[in-house]
Structure 1
Amino acid sequence: MHISNIKLAWRNLWRNKLVSAINILGITIGITSALLIFSFVRKEKSTDKYIPDCQNIYNLNNNGGSHLSQHMVNLVKQEIPEIKELTYCTNDWSPQIFFTNNHTTFQVDKQLVADSCFFRVFQFPAVYGDPAKTLNRANQVVITQSLSRKLFGNENPVGKSIIYNATYMQNTPIEVGAVIRDLPQNSSWDFQSVLSLQTNYKLDWYVENMEDWGTQNYRAFARLNKHVSAQTVEKKLAAIPMVGVPDYWKKNLHYGLTPFSQLYLNHPDVDILKHGNPLTVSIVQVIGILILLLACVNYINMVTAQREKRFKEVGIIKTLGSGKAQIIKLFITESGILLLISTLLSVFISLNMIGIFNSLTESKFTVPSIYSGWNLVILSVILLLILILTGIIPGLLFSRHRAVLLLKNQINQSRSNWFRNGLLVFQFTVSIALLAGIMLINRQNQYLDNSNPGFQRNHIIFANSNSNLGANMNAFRDELKQIPGITDIALSDEPIGYMSENWGRNLINNGKKEEVHFAKFTVSPNFFHFFGIKLKQGKTFNDNSSRNQDFIFNEKAIHDFGIKDISKAQIATSDPAKGRIIGTADNFNFESLHAPIRAAGFMCNSNYADVIYLKTDTQDRASFQQTMKSVKKIWDQLSPNFPFEYKFLNASWDALYRKDQQFQKILGITTLISLFLSCLGLIGMTFFIIEKRTKEIGIRKVNGAKVSEVMTLLNKDFIKWVAIAFLIATPIAYYAMNKWLENFAYKTSLSWWIFALAGVLALGIALLTVSWQSWKAATRNPVEALRYE
């Protein structure tokens, strides 16, 4: 019986080659797309869940902000015993870091600086040594397994020394305390090494900053004792004793806890970690489900559309003695063969698409990782659901009718027509919503590209400086000015767009003293002229500004701090004669347009900063490369240990919107997939509708109907279905896109024409899809059509 079912099922699939091909193609695309999308969503939602006891780890914050000073963290360490371990860390401030072992040097792109509790809070699996017992003294480092292999091969490096060269510290021996496994792709942490905090204590300016309550450059994480609730700890934090706390901070310390597991998707302000977008993940997940449903809808539509053609076949089978179970088995077998072919094709496509998928989602999936574990469970569930929807349900629908009615074709089809039409409306609802979404996202990204951030960024490159260059900065600048193609040079402590230094300082405003907080830049005197940033009032920096510790604030800071007269305001320093506010600069976006402009303060340093900007006026690629060769030659003479690695400011600024562009690509591809699946459904449906109405078309043509009239007759129903889909899709797309735009402080508008254009495009695609079949039917010889009937 099983062999006969397989033969009958295969014969039916082969006899209906077009339908079978459409079904196989549709379900293959549906399974492949859904499985890849669900793998990505699972990775995003499982981020950091691999860390032991993750549910007991919390981010310590103050007034809802994640930036803390060392004093703020130490106060909690001393007063809250319910916190088992508390660590604080920051990204290394050195723009360039190199590790050398036996004359082999590797650049470290991502390094943390942390206290000795870091690996007791975050218990990453170790390869060599015990990370929890390291970082308790200066010149210690924990490295990842991949970095260890680069430096030491397969040796155990624990206890061995390497030479540490960084922007602020050169030729320093540091000891490898432990090696941890490489961080998995579902980790919000992203580093190659973790340096002990004490290593930087030899830098006077570093220690001076740490000792100030207002220098909030650290992120803190706490591991609570088991059986102690976060609510209990938060109550104790609210009543924490303020022994030794400055008066200002006694009224401005309001500690809180945020679960570490929530940081990746919901707290992008904790910028020491990688982050995802919860709305993006939700939209992508819904799209994955919809694509899978579209594939199933196509198949169900095909099955129900074939019912009339198969009435006699099923009627004969029932007449020969087959019962409901045998008919259901026949349809399950048919669906099973189709699903088996689709699954094999899906695996083949995955093998060839995995690289593109990883590039698109910035992931590290492999085929075994996709077709293993929970993903295999998901795949099995998907296949089972499709089997139920496309095998069991159609079998039940066919088997419930009496054989005589099936043989005489006396089955009422009105309900199935409504069902098929409803499914087509669903398909185009999805397509129109996705079309509107991709157009809006493209418009928003163009808005970001074309928006003026308030500073010049064309023809500017920048490179990371170091102490070798700082010691010879005047000579370096004089040499660079002699190079053809270099028109100006400026300095700052961080690249524009990647501001991370936040200060809290006392402001004396018209005789009143208060604590203020702002983003702090250290810049060269010509910084504002270099970037075309105008001053609203006052004057720019001069040669004495660095010694006098002069400040320039942006308009936002002047407004927020309530400064009416800058001549009567200054930042408090150890010398009452210093810290004057000498000017007010125009607001400009020193961070991405996701965030509103915030208060910023600028200090002057004529001789050293972490970033060197070069403005060029080269007219072609060849002259630019020659200019860069000349710069590199001078650079290598003054800084032989640190290579000249430059970036374009435009490209660096555009990288701030990489996630948005990534989302646009993902949505664009899924929109194309949904449209393709909808068109496959239309092709199949049109094929059956025309086949069903062949006799009617022939009679109309015999009676003088024109080709255009026959095409209108066949196409008008599709126009109605797309119109209904448009009415359903518009409010759904409007709501989803309005929520997405909330991620931006500066955004485009939701115009009505976006949704209208999406509807027109969907209608045009639908008509193009069905018109060629309608035209073939309308131009057929009516005699052949009637003879066929």
Structure 2
Amino acid sequence: MIFKNIKIIFRELFKNKVVNGINITGLAIGIAAILFIVQYIWFETSFDSFIQNNDRIYRLVFNRYYTTGLDQSVGNSYLAGQIARENIPEVENFVRCKKSTQFLQVEEDIFKEERAFFADSSFFDLFSYPVVSGVKSDFLREPNVAVITESLARKYFGDEDPIGKTIYRVNPGKTPLLIQGVVKDVPENSHLKFDVIISLASELGPSYCYTCNNTNTYFLLREGSNPNEVAAKITDYALEFLESRGMKLDFKIEYELQKLTDIHLHSHYRFEHEANGNYGYLIALMIVAFFILLSAWLNYTNIYKSLIKRKIKSLGVRKINGASWRSFAMDFISETWITGLISLILAFAIISLLFPTLKSYLHLEYSFDFILRLRTILYSILIMTGISIGVGIILTLRYLKTIPLNMVLTKSSNAGNKRPKNFVLIAQFSIAVFLIASTMIAIQQIHYMQDSALSMNIDQVLTVKRSVDGKYNTKQREFEQSLKNFPGILETSYSTVTPGEKNGWVKGGIAIKGTDLLSDQFFQSNVAPGFFDFFDVKLLAGRSFFPDETNWEGGPRHIILNKQAALALGAANYEDILGKILVDNDDKNEMGEVVGVVDGYFQNSLDQEVMPTIFNPDQFGYFIFIKFHNENPVELVSKVKAEYQEYFKDSYFEYFFLDDYFNQQYQSHIQFNRCFILFSIMAIIISILSLLGAAIMSSVERIKEIGIRKVNGARITEILVLLNTESIKGVIIAIIIATPLAWYTMHKWLENFAYKTTLSWWIFALAGLLALGIALLTVSWQSWRAATRNPVEALRYE
């Protein structure tokens, strides 16, 4: 009996294969969207959950309250964790670590390892990364030792045992590193992604800055400890320590503890190990995915109801012959379940086919195996079964109330039939118009941040990073001079921090000489005298640096401020600040005389306010900028590399194109926007399928009417207008509904950006025209087929 029912169901599916194909495809796209997004959200929310005792591990966050705003950093001094461990009983253990790109030499080969960390010996006590080989209790307890991952071990030594082998830190110098252990590769859902851990003791020495806030600190608290109380105690001990050193702060400081599993989605502080996720974007994507699935489900139910109407007579005959409500329910449940299962299988097929492309396009970190987990498949089938049972029961109850004779005579009321269809059409195209408009605005905002609002020129700039060792200073000058002899290279410049990099040189206690102390936060940077001309940064007042100026070789000091620094120092206009001398009240030294004010120097992305910055002139810098014109980038890099190795013989050639490096800051925004593009395409496809299915069903239902009208002389254009009118009205209503919703939503989204584009009316008009054009093409194609059909065939229908 079961096989017979299944055979009948498949026969019905093939009987109306076009409409059922549209139905199944639309539902499959919706299911694929929700599966993809749910897995992405699960991955993003699973960060660091595999770490043992993750509920007791916290990271120390350092808050400084300046008048220019709150500075939140996870960079802390070397002493902060140690003082807390010694004085606060709730602290069971702690670890300090910091990320640093390292150049490692293995035999004659040099490798650039960007996922390198320096850490205390307690690192593997707090973080339960599985050990493959080596004695865990001995890890990182001495200077110049390291632990590496399995993949790095294979990369360096193949199948050989790496324990006890020596590699070298180079660039600058050559320091041996003894490999003590190997651990499994770090899962992608960890915010501490490393390939090599080097003992933090390797960095310590007379020149190490123990009070600089440049080290991440993690605590393992004892069971039952209150993290807020522990953070308050850390703040008290920090203030006591500063007072004991005779340091009196002119701004408030406060420490807080951040739960380990909250870091990835709820943390965007200075000194993060990597660009973290965005919790708000996850919520937005979940809502969008829900509406995509809703659109697909509306399409499915609308077409399925239309198909049931076509066999309503047979249902009525069955009811007259005594068919029970159970048989009706089983038929409806079986049919919806089989259709849903086919859609589910097709959804997995769509994801498997497109996943490599989507992974690259959306910069996803997880693999396809993550989606094909047994739990995902079982949950999907269970949800599909539950929905099928619900639909079956609803349809059974609906037709149980209908008089059998009316079903046989097809007298079931058709009143209001257009309303549900129009409602589905309006809902689907409202979603499509909303997504199209939102996507266009997101694209415009990203373009605005990357190009229009960026008041400095970073295009066609190759950046070379040299070693910080002072012995290379004279070589740098010779290197730059040699580059100017190459055709296609226009000019060079340099600085100690590159645009797009988080500036760690920041402090308070800076004021104009002879004035009251201000609680402002100022960043600093050393730049080439011609730095601002190189990047086309506008000079608002005063002068640029002279070619031979430097603040670090004795003599008078001069500085340039960005306009934010001038305003923070109380300048009513930029000319007023010229000639003033700034002092650092912490060490009582004069910083220099203000000789200029510049506009729009963007150190970080434009979703953040530009921070007050002080620029010092210098004759050397660690980042060398090379502006080129009409040069093949590959050939340019090859030429510059050859020249670099001529002057920096024992250094690794490290380079990047500045615009690419700067725009990496927008990665989360770009990823979110690409998701919107993807879902907009899905919404449009589902809307097209829904409209096409509705047009096919409508033309079938009105086939005799069309034939009669044609026999009576109706023209094809009149038939087209007749069949298209309702659909076009529905799309217009959808545009009217979606436009204000899209405007309000994107207006709120743009409030998250310090520099934002305007919401232009033409974006919403274009989104509406696109939706209208898609609807016209879809409906007109099916209407044309119906209108050009031989009227004799139409009158003989059935």
TM normalised by structure 2 equals 0.90
Q: Closer, same or farther in 2 for the Cα pair 1:560/1:341, shift >3 Å?
A: same
Determine which of 622, 644, 647 is the counterpart of 1:638. 647
Task: Map 1:705-784 onto structure 2 (within 5 A).
Answer: 705-784=714-793
Q: Closer, same or farther in 2 for the Cα pair 1:545/1:239, shift >3 Å?
A: closer
Asked if the contact 1:216/1:503 (under 8 Å) is kept, the reply is no
Q: Name the residue aligned to 2:311.
A: 310
In the alignment, structure 1 residue 561 sits paired with structure 2 residue 574: no
Q: How big is each residue's C-alpha offset from its partner over 1:504-551, in whole Å with a ceiling of 9 and x where there is no partner?
A: 254352235566532232223332332233442255153443213654
Determine which of 628, 632, 649 is the counterpart of 1:616. 628
Report the Cα distance in structure 2 between the residues aligned to 1:156 and 1:736, rounded to whole angstroms.
57
Asked if the contact 2:527/2:615 (under 8 Å) is kept, the reply is yes
The alignment partner of 2:198 has SS state of strand
Q: Name the residue aligned to 2:552.
A: 546
The alignment partner of 2:748 has SS state of helix
Report the Cα distance in structure 2 between the residues aligned to 1:345 and 1:117, rounded to whole angstroms.
49
In the alignment, structure 1 residue 90 sits paired with structure 2 residue 98: yes
Output the amino acid matched with 2:502. Answer: M
Asked if the contact 1:27/1:296 (under 8 Å) is kept, the reply is yes
Q: Closer, same or farther in 2 for the Cα pair 1:251/1:647, shift >3 Å?
A: closer
Q: Percent identity?
A: 31
Q: How big is each residue's C-alpha offset from its partner over 1:158-194, in whole Å with a ceiling of 9 and x where there is no partner?
A: 443211113xx42100122333322222222333223
Q: Closer, same or farther in 2 for the Cα pair 1:27/1:132, shift >3 Å?
A: farther
Output the amino acid matched with 2:682. Answer: I
The alignment partner of 2:582 has SS state of strand
Output the amino acid matched with 2:249. Answer: W
Asked if the contact 1:296/1:386 (under 8 Å) is kept, the reply is no
How far does residue 229 in structure 1 lie from its aligned partner after superposition?
A: 1.5
Asked if the contact 1:679/1:766 (under 8 Å) is kept, the reply is yes
Task: Map 1:345-494 onto structure 2 (within 5 A).
Answer: 345-388=346-389, 391-414=392-415, 417-466=418-467, 467=469, 469-470=472-473, 472-494=475-497
How far does residue 590 in structure 1 lie from its aligned partner after superposition?
A: 1.6
Asked if the contact 1:264/1:273 (under 8 Å) is kept, the reply is no
Q: Name the residue aligned to 1:182.
A: 185
Q: Answer with 59-68 or 296-305: which moved more.
A: 59-68
Q: Name the residue aligned to 1:247.
A: 247
Q: Answer with 396-405 or 56-65: which moved more.
A: 396-405
In the alignment, structure 1 residue 227 sits paired with structure 2 residue 224: yes
Q: How many residues align?
A: 774
Q: How big is each residue's C-alpha offset from its partner over 1:431-477, in whole Å with a ceiling of 9 and x where there is no partner?
A: 11111111111221222233242322233211111246446223323
In the alignment, structure 1 residue 164 sits paired with structure 2 residue 172: no
Aligned-CA RMSD value: 2.9
Task: Map 1:269-284 onto structure 2 (within 5 A).
Answer: 269-270=269-270, 271-284=272-285
Q: Name the residue aligned to 1:300.
A: 301
Determine which of 592, 602, 623 is the counterpart of 2:605. 592
Report the Cα distance in structure 1 between the residues aligned to 2:129 and 2:462, rounded to whole angstroms.
38
Report the Cα distance in structure 2 between the residues aligned to 1:75 and 1:537, rounded to whole angstroms.
47
Task: Map 1:6-405 onto structure 2 (within 5 A).
Answer: 6-60=6-60, 61-63=62-64, 65-66=72-73, 67-92=75-100, 97-129=102-134, 134-166=139-171, 169-202=172-205, 204=207, 207=208, 210-212=209-211, 215-237=212-234, 239-240=236-237, 242-243=240-241, 244-249=244-249, 252-270=252-270, 271-388=272-389, 391-405=392-406
How far does residue 71 in structure 1 lie from its aligned partner after superposition?
A: 4.5
How far does residue 595 in structure 1 lie from its aligned partner after superposition?
A: 0.7
Q: Name the residue aligned to 2:523.
A: 519
Q: Answer with 105-114 or 395-404: which moved more.
A: 395-404
Q: Closer, same or farther in 2 for the Cα pair 1:265/1:626, shift >3 Å?
A: closer
In the alignment, structure 1 residue 648 sits paired with structure 2 residue 657: yes
Q: Closer, same or farther in 2 for the Cα pair 1:394/1:590, shift >3 Å?
A: same
Report the Cα distance in structure 2 between the residues aligned to 1:429 and 1:389, rounded to whole angstroms.
26
Q: How big is each residue's C-alpha offset from its partner over 1:33-61, in whole Å with a ceiling of 9 and x where there is no partner?
A: 32122111111122222222222232322
Output the amino acid matched with 2:536. Answer: G
Output the amino acid matched with 2:413. Answer: N
Report the Cα distance in structure 2 between the residues aligned to 1:374 and 1:581, rounded to whole angstroms.
66
Q: Closer, same or farther in 2 for the Cα pair 1:674/1:415, shift >3 Å?
A: same
Q: Answer with 564-573 or 433-442: which moved more.
A: 564-573
Asked if the contact 1:699/1:782 (under 8 Å) is kept, the reply is yes
Asked if the contact 2:362/2:674 (under 8 Å) is kept, the reply is no
Q: Closer, same or farther in 2 for the Cα pair 1:421/1:300, shift >3 Å?
A: same
Report the Cα distance in structure 1 between the residues aligned to 2:446 and 2:380, rounded to whole angstroms.
35
Q: Closer, same or farther in 2 for the Cα pair 1:534/1:7, shift >3 Å?
A: closer
Q: Answer with 247-256 or 737-746: which moved more.
A: 247-256
Report the Cα distance in structure 2 between the residues aligned to 1:703 and 1:442, rounded to whole angstroms.
52
Output the amino acid matched with 1:52. Answer: Q
Report the Cα distance in structure 2 between the residues aligned to 1:742 and 1:178, rounded to whole angstroms.
49
Report the Cα distance in structure 1 between the residues aligned to 2:9 and 2:703, rounded to whole angstroms.
27
TM normalised by structure 1 equals 0.91
Asked if the contact 2:422/2:726 (under 8 Å) is kept, the reply is no
Output the amino acid matched with 1:419. Answer: P
Q: Closer, same or farther in 2 for the Cα pair 1:521/1:510, shift >3 Å?
A: closer
How far does residue 648 in structure 1 lie from its aligned partner after superposition?
A: 2.0
**5+ residue gaps, structure 1:** none
How far does residue 311 in structure 1 lie from its aligned partner after superposition?
A: 0.9
How far does residue 376 in structure 1 lie from its aligned partner after superposition?
A: 2.3
The alignment partner of 2:142 has SS state of coil
Asked if the contact 1:499/1:519 (under 8 Å) is kept, the reply is no
Q: How big is each residue's C-alpha offset from its partner over 1:354-400, in whole Å with a ceiling of 9 and x where there is no partner?
A: 21121133224434321214422442244224423554433443454
**5+ residue gaps, structure 2:** 65-69
Report the Cα distance in structure 2 between the residues aligned to 1:77 and 1:689, rounded to whole angstroms.
75
Q: Answer with 406-415 or 74-83: which moved more.
A: 74-83
In the alignment, structure 1 residue 502 sits paired with structure 2 residue 508: no
Report the Cα distance in structure 2 between the residues aligned to 1:68 and 1:332, rounded to whole angstroms.
61
In the alignment, structure 1 residue 606 sits paired with structure 2 residue 619: yes
Report the Cα distance in structure 2 between the residues aligned to 1:194 and 1:584, rounded to whole angstroms.
44
Q: Name the residue aligned to 2:67.
A: none
The alignment partner of 1:127 has SS state of strand
How far does residue 72 in structure 1 lie from its aligned partner after superposition?
A: 4.6
Report the Cα distance in structure 1 between the residues aligned to 2:37 and 2:217, rounded to whole angstroms.
34
Asked if the contact 1:424/1:721 (under 8 Å) is kept, the reply is yes
Q: How big is each residue's C-alpha offset from its partner over 1:681-731, in whole Å with a ceiling of 9 and x where there is no partner?
A: 111111111222223333333444333333222222212322332333234
Report the Cα distance in structure 2 between the residues aligned to 1:577 and 1:518, rounded to whole angstroms.
16
Report the Cα distance in structure 2 between the residues aligned to 1:692 and 1:444, rounded to whole angstroms.
47
Output the amino acid matched with 2:522. Answer: F
Report the Cα distance in structure 1 between the residues aligned to 2:115 and 2:370, rounded to whole angstroms.
26
Output the amino acid matched with 1:68. Answer: N
User: Displaced runs of 4+ in structure 1, greater than 6 A?
Assistant: 573-577
